[in-house]
């Protein structure tokens, strides 16, 4: 059996909610200060990060699949924190999604000084049991979309005195997980990309960080995964708010690699000193519970 985490695209690409919204026609976006743009902002870690950023007074562009929930969330943030929150509903796996988001910002003179590439999902199970179409969708969302968003927004980010890119990878980028081989590889891709780009753009005061969370209780699939893993996962599981706090705090401190949680940090450090064969053997034993997912 194959596990498809929540977040697997379930709706077809459609016109952005904002393009159908009243604000579009009235053109009442606040352009007096820059925005933080977050993908995967409607749920889990992204939703928690949106709360934290709004609490700090940042205007927000919230990207997720087109849904009323996203619109309602934007309204909730505006009311609670007195900031602007623009919902932008789009299927990020569509090839032109990054361009459409960038064009929308350009058209409405919305400056972005914080780009958080967070949307992503995971597939677990024996490699050959998972459908290739699902792999392609996951690879697209977890990697290509992030490259596209970064490519479009980087020139703009460079124009600010200081700006930030935060890419959500996973602890699995550091500790490759058997039975989640392709997901692990997408997160490894983002990890390497982020660290390399970080050095390239340092002279422009664009800070690139990569977030590597361990298990985070964000959705029902996550809960199933944690239950399957038993005490090992329960010991290490974190809540989205904790991860978001840690991630944003360290992003603003310009840390390169962010691994939230003491246990997670310990295990990633241990992973660096163990011989690869020993490490991979241990990881196979620990994560063999995913085999039947
Ligand atoms: N949870 C964990 O244990 C864990 C651990 C390590 C790393 N991560 C990574 O952390 C990130 C966030 O994970 P999460 O668990 O917080 O996710 P989540 O709760 O499943 O939420 C995923 C978010 O991404 C959006 N999304 C999914 N597919 C999309 C698409 N095709 N187009 C546009 N938006 C899309 C969802 O929008 P809708 O609400 O509209 O579906 C939702 O806002 C991911 O990159 C994940 O790989 C998670």
- How do residues 1-37 score in pLDDT, each as one tens digit? 334 444 444 444 444 444 445 554 455 799 999 999 9
Atom 19 of ligand 1: nearest residue by CA position: 44
Q: Is the CB of 42 under 6 A from ligand 1?
A: yes
What residues are paired with 35 via a beta bridge? 59, 112
* Cα gap 171→190, rounded to integer Å: 12
Q: Ligand 1 centre from 239 Cα, in Å?
A: 14
3-290: CATH number: 3.40.50.720
Q: Is the CB of 219 under 6 A from ligand 1?
A: yes
Q: Ligand 1 centre from 158 Cα, in Å?
A: 27
CB 159 within 8 A of CB 106: no
Neighbours of 22 (CB within 10 A): 8
The confidence score (pLDDT) of residue 12 equals 41
- Give start and end residues of each alpha helix (H) in 158-261: 181-201, 220-229, 231-236, 240-252
φ, ψ of residue 89 to 5 degrees: the values are -90, 125
Q: Ligand 1 centre from 285 Cα, in Å?
A: 27
Q: What is the pLDDT of residues 237-291, one digit of tens each?
A: 999 999 999 999 999 999 999 999 999 999 999 999 999 999 999 999 989 988 7
**What does the domain layout of the chain look like in residue ranges?**
3-290
């Amino acid at each position: 059996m194959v596990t498809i985490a929540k977040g697997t695209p379930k709706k077809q690409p459609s016109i952005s909610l904002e393009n159908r919204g009243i604000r579009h026609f009235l053109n009442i976006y606040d352009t007096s200060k820059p925005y933080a743009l977050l993908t995967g902002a409607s749920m889990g870690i992204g939703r928690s990060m949106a709360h934290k950023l709004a609490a700090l007074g940042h205007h927000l562009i919230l990207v997720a699949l087109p849904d009323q929930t996203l619109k309602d969330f934007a309204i909730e943030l505006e009311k609670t924190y007195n900031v602007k929150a623009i919902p932008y509903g789009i299927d990020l796996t569509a090839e032109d999604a990054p361009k459409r988001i960038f064009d929308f910002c350009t058209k409405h003179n919305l400056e972005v000084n914080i780009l958080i590439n967070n949307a992503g999902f995971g597939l677990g199970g024996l490699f050959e049991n998972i459908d290739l179409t699902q792999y392609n969708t996951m690879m697209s969302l977890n990697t290509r979309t992030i490259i596209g968003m970064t490519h479009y927004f980087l020139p703009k980010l460079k124009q600010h005195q200081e700006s930030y890119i935060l890419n959500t990878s996973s602890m699995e980028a550091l500790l490759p997980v058997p039975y989640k081989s392709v997901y692990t590889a997408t997160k490894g891709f983002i990890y390497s990309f982020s660290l390399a780009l970080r050095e390239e753009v340092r002279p422009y005061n664009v800070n690139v960080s990569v977030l590597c969370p361990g298990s985070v209780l964000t959705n029902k699939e996550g809960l199933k995964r944690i239950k399957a893993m038993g005490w090992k996962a329960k010991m290490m599981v974190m809540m989205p708010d904790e991860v978001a706090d840690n991630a944003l705090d360290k992003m603003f401190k310009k840390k390169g690699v962010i691994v939230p949680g003491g246990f997670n940090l310990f295990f990633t450090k241990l992973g660096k000193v163990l011989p690869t064969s020993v490490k991979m053997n241990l990881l196979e034993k620990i994560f063999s519970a995913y085999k039947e997912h």
